[in-house]
Structure 1
C-alpha cells in the first residue's frame, strides 16, 4: 500500500476515534427483563424522536404534532416504549424501554427540534444489556464479539 494511502487511513482513523470519544454520550447497563429509562431533556420542543441508526425503520419512538406517531416505528419496539412524561413538562422527553433484551443493545439517539433556533439537538445513549443473572461488571456476549473485533 502506498505511503500516502497508509498516512491518509491513519489520519482518518485517528479523527474518527477522536470524534467518537469526544462525543457527548451516556452509557447505561441493564439486565434482560428490566425496564430502562433513556434520559433526554430540552426546553420548548414540539418534535422528539428516538432512533437507532442500525434499524430500518430507524425510529424507536416519534412524537410530533402533540401525539405519538407509530407509523414508522420499528416493529420490535411496538408496545414496549413510552415517554416518561407524555406532556413533556420541563422538556422531559425521556424514553422508557420495557422488558429489555440483548437485542436492544445499541446506540440510541434522541433528536429534539428546538423551535427558537429552528434546528435539531441530538443526544446519544449507548445501552448495554446483559443476560439475567450476569453481574453488571461483566460484558454480555454481543459486547464481547464487538470488543474482540476492536469496535468497543
Structure 2
C-alpha cells in the first residue's frame, strides 16, 4: 500500500468541516483527545424525540486526518441514532486494528485506507466518531 497518507481528498475534507460552531444548548457534549498526537475533537449533539441526531456542533483541533474524519462524521451524522453511531465507531475501530477487512459502513471512510499501517494515526481518525457515539448515548438517556 504505497498511497500517500495525506492526499488531495484528505486535505479537502480537512478544510471543509461542517458544523464548526459549538451549540449553545446541547443535549450532550463530549471531548475526545488523542494521547499520541494531542488532537482534540469536541462534539455537541441535540437529539429529537425519536433519538436521532437533529443538531450538531463541533470544535476540531486535530491533524489533517482527524479533521478529515470529523468532516466525514459531520457530513452524515444528522438523522443517525446512538446505535448507528456506536456501530460506525466500532466498525472504524475494528477496521483500523485490522480486525475487519472492509471500511466502516459510513460514506467516504475508504479514504483512510493509506493510514491503516500507521497505527500512531488511528486515534486521531477515531476521535470524532468516538465523541459523537458517546454524546448520542448520553443525549438519549
TM tier relative to shorter chain: 0.3 to 0.5
Q: Which has the higher helix share?
A: 2
TM-score for the superposition, normalised by structure 2: 0.34
Q: Which has the higher strand share?
A: 1
**Could you say which structure has the larger radius of gyration?**
1
TM-score for the superposition, normalised by structure 1: 0.32
